[in-house]
Structure 1
Amino acid sequence: MHAPPHVLIVGYYGFHNAGDDAVLFGILQALKTKFPGLQATVLSNAPEETTRTFGIRAVNRWRPGPIIRAIRAADFVVVGGGTLLQDRTSPRSPLYYLGITELAKRFGKPVFYYGQGFGPIVHASSRFFIRRVLSGVDLIIMRDAESARELEKTGVRGVPIAVTADPALAIDPAIADRERGRAVLADHGRTPKRPLAVVSVRPWKDRTAHLLPLARALDRVADRGFEIVFIAMQRAQDVEPALRVRAAMTRPAAVVRTPLDFRAIFGVIAEADLLIGMRLHALIFAALHGVPFVPLSYDPKIDRFVESVGLVPPLSIEALQADALMERIEATMNDLPALRRTLADRVPPVVDAARRSADLVYDAYRSRARRRPGKEARR
């Protein structure tokens, strides 16, 4: 009997970001359907916490020795998902992942980029290294067609590039901790008889101009009888802008500051009647549970996801106006049943696309094993 393979997963993990944790869970869940008994190790900023949350081995992402040992012990390496190939936050960001990729290649490991977004890339040096390093990997799976087009513009050649969907969409919605979600909402004054609007905001370029029109619009949502609850997808970043919006409101609203794992946040969003959000994975959580949402775009990835599920293009937070936002929210609130039907029709194909990523990795891994008999073939 062949032993199950061992995968090393590399990404932005262990930073208390519910979206990235959902991505990791989605990757694991999808891969395990193709590789029964799969063993996994993850590079993490908080390895002990990652092990507790996911029940897998985790290695400190900043320690070269353990990283090298983890690469050597792996049968293949998965880099994903999220938007790892961007240098807007720092020119060093893509270099970390490209460095791990180059090490894996030198140790002869198959490397698969999985459910990736792309860009923006603003430094010529980043484009050079992306082209040089990725041209030697086994497979690149992008989460949307525009990301694939932008990647191809860097000149990456000689590697298959596929388009599927964000790995978090592969999650079974049943894993949402709805009991914990209801308890959190109750602790924050939730009245079950009233409709619930969950709000997800995040920092954006040190700007705050979009927060006041959001506060004005949310006051009007509250006037329609909705309870307003802010949820933090990344605790260290999202609580402050949520508090700023609440401070500018004249109607009551709750800000959840309780540390929650991604399952509990998923559970909170599953209880909502409406979500208004900036964070991509807050929108994805809502879509998976059929919760209509009003997206606020700060990045092309928001527009791309909204398009994939057949909804009206999002409002940009650039020059956001309260009246325009409220008009969009009103249209959504007035059409909740139809929007639920739209999500019920449009989300399953996107979920299938996300799960297809694991099929592509499986096929590529087996194909390489046949071409290069050895350890891979024995597994």
Structure 2
Amino acid sequence: MGRLLRSLGTPLSNEAPRFPYVEQERAGASPLRVAGAAADPVAASCAALERYAHAEAPDEVFLADMQCRIDAASRHAARPRRTTDDALRVLLLSYSGAGNTGADLRTIETIAQIQDVFAHRVPRIKLLALGALFDHRVLARVKKLDWPLPYLPDVLAAAVAEADLVLNVEGSTYTSKFSDSLAGMLIGGVALAHAQGCAAVSYGVDSGAMSASLQVFVRRNAERGLVICRNSAACTQLAELGVSGQRGADAAWHWRARERETACGRVAVLCVNNPFWWPVYADARRARALDAAGRESPLRYGSLHFHSWNAARECAYESYLSRFAALGTALRERGYEPVIVGMERLDEAACHDLAARLPFAVRIVARGEADLEAVATTVAHADCAVTTRYHAAVLAVSHGVPVFGLSMDERIDRLLDEVGLGDWRGRCDDDGSTARALERIATLDDARERARIVAACERYAGAQRAVFDQMGRNLAAWVEAIHFG
């Protein structure tokens, strides 16, 4: 999301007009008028960016701008079917490049699947990346989408026009947990592609709590594009908003760790982050003040955005770290070697904050300091794991590692419930979660109980890999019918 938020730009003036998306929708008004009618598309995109940057509700402006471009595209005739054997042009909408291990694994495995099922079409893949960390050969080699215009909705409109297939490969799509602008880019990019007559899919996605603005946006675009969910709960939630989601699987289930080279005792992985500083929000005035004073803020994220933070959030974060420290200490006393893992580059600070609270030296494997393979393999080779990161739970289950989830939202809860390990989870802000995690992990000393849990993990993971394989075959048949049938 770093590239997305940085791409939304730097303020150009001091005026701050307001364009509240929900109020427009309730009043039946049209969304923001696209500035693209101007002779100079760069100037028009700059003007749209300026409106966004100075709005009182920037995320609502972003959603409105996306909607305007979707509606404009839907008024034009759909593109004709392709009847030649030219290469299939694929655009991937992603969170890759930001240093998020789960997002990168999803992208890597989706690329591999596309190259397999569309081999006869010689797919030409472009990746809309939101950062510049590509520490895996697949991510390093895939072609990245250029950004010829300053404002992301305009970048998407131009890029979609040159694609045959647009896939949203980010899991956290239908949620306001992180940013409505991020959700608007993912959902809106698929809707925009559909409006332009392109095959458009949200691929193995999840849902969660959504703002009123995002719910309006989802309802309005509910029938634009194919939505494949990674769990049944997401299908159910989206159905309430008019989205007919199909059941699928997460792409990351297909990633397999290399073999462990040496034995290193019993390892307990602790995957931490800061669950309490989301979502990010835009504050152009605060950004200008920092820039004018030549100051930095640890809460700043990109050019205009800041993490949410106050005394209550700080207190919750301190309690969270204390619970993890108690877990690490108790696990060490039980013969485990705790290893702290940061699944995203943003988690590095939380990893070091936790290490500082432990009464012993501890190894840290954090993305950015370590590459994708090292981070993912550390989780896959553990003897048990405790995580607030969803894809650490996926990696653990996929490799038969018993995992306790200290969840920050619905995603880990849904996963462990489906695996059959609903008693292996707790809330990250619950004081009782430490004792429950230790109780569950203690049962692993019974060889039969460990074998039962490992078998449940492997059975579920195998089923998910089979579902993802079928997703690929279905996708290939669907695209053939749309563009080449």
User: Normalised by the shorter chain, which TM-score bucket?
Assistant: 0.7 to 0.9
Aligned pair 1:7/2:82, yes or no? Answer: no
The correspondence for 1:198, drawn from 266, 269, 273, is 269
Per the alignment, residue 136 of structure 1 pairs with 224
Equivalent of 1:319, from 430, 444, 465?
430
Correspondences of 1:1-379 after superposition (within 5 Å)? 2-36=85-119, 37-46=122-131, 49=134, 53-54=138-139, 55-60=141-146, 64=152, 67-123=156-212, 125-137=213-225, 139-156=226-243, 161-171=245-255, 173=256, 176-177=257-258, 192-205=263-276, 206=313, 207-208=316-317, 209-236=319-346, 238-257=347-366, 259-313=369-423, 314-321=425-432, 322-334=434-446, 335-369=449-483, 376-377=484-485
> Is the contact between residue 384 and residue 441 of structure 2 (CA under 8 Å) also seen in structure 1?
no
Give the whole-Å Cα distance in 1 for the aligned partners of 2:151 and 2:364. 36
Specify the code of the residue in structure 2 equivalent to 1:109. C
The 8 Å contact of residues 85 and 93 in structure 1, kept in 2 or not, is answered as no
Pick which of 29-38 and 302-311 moved more.
29-38
**Alignment deviations for residues 324-376 of structure 1 (CA, whole Å, 9 cap, x no partner):** 3321221235443332222232321122122322223223222323xxxxxx4
Residues of 2 paired with 1:126 and 1:255: CA distance?
Answer: 37
When residues 81 and 356 of structure 1 are mapped into structure 2, their CA distance, relative to the original with a 3 A threshold, is farther
Name the counterpart of 1:373: none
Q: Which deviates further from its counterpart, 210-219 or 319-328?
A: 319-328
Letter in 2 for 1:161: G
How much has 1:242 moved relative to structure 2?
A: 2.3
For residues 24-79 of structure 1, what are the alpha-carbon distances to aligned partners after superposition, in whole Å with 9 as ceiling and x for unaligned? Answer: 11212223332113221110023583895422111156665654443222111111
Are the aligned partners of 1:196 and 1:273 in contact in 2 as well (CA < 8 Å)? yes
Contact 2:191 2:200 (8 Å CA) reproduced: no
Code of the residue aligned with 1:298 in structure 2: it is M
CA shift at 1:143, angstroms?
Answer: 0.7
Distance 1:324 1:48 in 2: 37
Instruction: Tell me the SS of whatever aligns to 2:161.
Output: helix
* CA distance 1:268–1:22, shift in 2 (3 Å): same
The Cα of 1:111 is off from its aligned counterpart by 0.8
Q: Structure 2: any 5+ residue segments left out of the alignment?
A: 1-83, 277-312
Assess if the C-alpha contact under 8 Å between 1:116 and 1:143 holds in 2.
Answer: yes
CA distance in structure 1 between the partners assigned to 2:109 and 2:411 by the alignment: 18
Cα shift at 1:272: 1.5
Change (3 A) 1:312 1:153: closer
Structure 1 residue 142: Cα displacement = 0.7
**Contact 1:143 1:165 (8 Å CA) reproduced:** yes
Gaps of 5+ in 1: 183-190, 370-375
Structure 1 residues 32, 241: closer, same or farther in 2, change over 3 A? same
Aligned residues of 1:29 and 1:170 also touching (Cα < 8 A): no
Counterpart CA distance in 2 for 1:104 and 1:168 is 24
Give the whole-Å Cα distance in 1 for the aligned partners of 2:157 and 2:136.
19
- Give the secondary-structure state (helix, strand or coil) at the position aligned to 1:231: strand
Compare CA radii of gyration and give the structure with the larger one.
2
Distance (Å, rounded) in 2 between the aligned partners of 1:77 and 1:311: 35
Distance verdict in 2 for CA 1:49–1:342, change over 3 Å: closer
Quickly say closer, same or farther: Cα 1:60–1:265, change in 2 above 3 A. Answer: farther
Q: Distance in 2 between matches of 1:20 and 1:89?
A: 14
Cα deviations across residues 138-168 of structure 1 (Å, max 9, x unaligned)? x210111111111111123xxx531011121
Q: What's the secondary structure of 2:217's corresponding residue?
A: helix
RMSD over aligned Cα atoms: 2.5
Name the count of aligned residue pairs.
352
Would the aligned equivalents of 2:191 and 2:221 in 1 still touch at CA under 8 Å?
yes
C-alpha change, 1:50 and 1:263, in structure 2 (3 Å) is closer
Cα separation, partners in 2 of 1:47 and 1:3, compared to 1, 3 Å: farther
Q: TM-score, normalised by structure 2?
A: 0.67
Equivalent-residue separation in structure 2 for 1:323 and 1:49 (angstroms): 39
CA contact (8 A) 2:173 2:206 kept: yes
Q: Distance in 1 between matches of 2:136 and 2:403?
A: 32
Distance in 2, Cα, partners of 1:349 & 1:90: 32
